[in-house]
A = this chain, B = another copy of it.
Amino acid sequence: MAEQIDRPVYPTALGASSRERITLLGRDLADDVMGSVGFGELAFWLATQRRPTTGETRVFEAVLAALADHGFTPTAIATRLTLLSAPDSIQGALAAGLLGGGSRFLGVTEDCGRFLHDVLTAQDGVLPTDDAGWDALALATVAEQRAQRRFVPGLGHHVHKDGDPRTPRLYAIAAEEDLVGPHLELFAAIGRVHPQALGKTLPLNGAGVCGAALADLGLPLELLRGFALLARTAGLIGQLAEELRHPVANEIFLSVDLNNRSVPPDPYHPPSLATESAGTHG
C-alpha cells in the first residue's frame, strides 16, 4: 500500500481556473480584465498585486517606452544572430537577447534605483522637505561616492553628453501625475550639485531616471531589472520582426567571420602565488 502524506498546498494569487471560470489576481479574467486593463497596467498589477492608478500606469509605461529599444545593442545583435542560427525557435532568440540584460547594459536602472533607495533608507525616516535639503543630501552622497572611488549610478552617458532627452521628459510626466517621490527628488538634486563634488558636469541618464521613477512607483527593488527586461522584450520582438523582413544578421556574422585572423594559442597561466624563495610551487 502506498504511503500517505499530507497533500501539499501551493498558494498563489495569480492565475487560477475552474471548469467555468478563470481568475487572475482575484478578478474574473474574461469579464474584469480582458478589454479593460491595458498591458502596462496589467504588468504593474501582476508585479505588485495592486492595481495602479491611471497616473502610475502612465509613468510606468513612459519608463517602459524609454527602455524598450536602443537600436543595435549587444542584446539586439545576439537576438538576431540566434534567429539566424535557430530560426525554428522564436523563444530561444528572445531568451538569448534577454540574457544580455545583466549588470552592464540593462543594469543601470536597477543599480540607480537601489543606490538611491539605500541613501534614503539611511536617513532614518527624516527626509529633506525642500530643494536645499535635497541638495545637501545629494552633495554629501556624491562626495562620499567619490571618496570611495565609486561611480554614482545613473550619472553620465557616452552619447548624450549634454543631456539625455528622456530625463527631463520623464520628470515632466511624473510631475504631471504628481508622482515625483524621494528617489526622483534625490536624483534631480544629484544632477544639480554633482559638479561641485566632481569638478565636471555629467548628464543624468535615462536608464538611471527610469530606476528612480520605478522606485518612486513603489515597485520592488529586486525586480527593477525585470521591468527593464519586460520593456526590452517588446523591443526584441521589434528586432525580430525587422530581421525577418530586412535581415542583417548574416551580414554581421560574415563581417566577423571573414575578418577573423588565426593567431597562435596564448597559453593561460594563473598569476603565481608563491615567491621563488618560498620554495613551494603551485
Contact = CB atoms under 8 A, between A and B. Distances in A.
A2 B7 CA distance: 7
A163 to B, nearest CB: 8
Contacts of A29: 65-66, 165-166
Interface centre among A91, A102, A278 (most CB of B within 10 A): A91
A85 B75 contact: yes
Q: What number of copies of this chain does the assembly contain? A: 4
Interface footprint category on A: 35 or more
Interface in A127-141: 127-129
Interface stretch (A142-150, A194-202, A215-223): A215-223
B87 A91 contact: no
Contacts of A38: 38-40, 61
B25 A71 contact: no
B220 A268 contact: yes
A257 B20 CA distance: 17
A37 B272 CA distance: 28
Contacts of A17: 70-71, 159-160
Given A29-B66, A40-B40, A273-B120, A7 B5 contact: yes
A58 interface: yes
Which of A23, A221, A282 has the most C-beta atoms of chain B within 10 angstroms of its own C-beta?
Answer: A282
Contacts of A87: 102-104
A193 interface: no
B223 A237 contact: yes
Contacts of A282: 181-183, 216, 218
A106 to B, nearest CB: 8
A202 to B, nearest CB: 14
Contact of A26 (B78, B90, B94, B265): B265
Given A13-B264, A82-B74, A235-B14, A94 B98 contact: yes
9 contacts: A10-B256, A10-B260, A13-B262, A14-B69, A22-B70, A42-B64, A86-B103, A90-B225, A252-B252
Given A68-B24, A101-B91, A260 B12 contact: yes
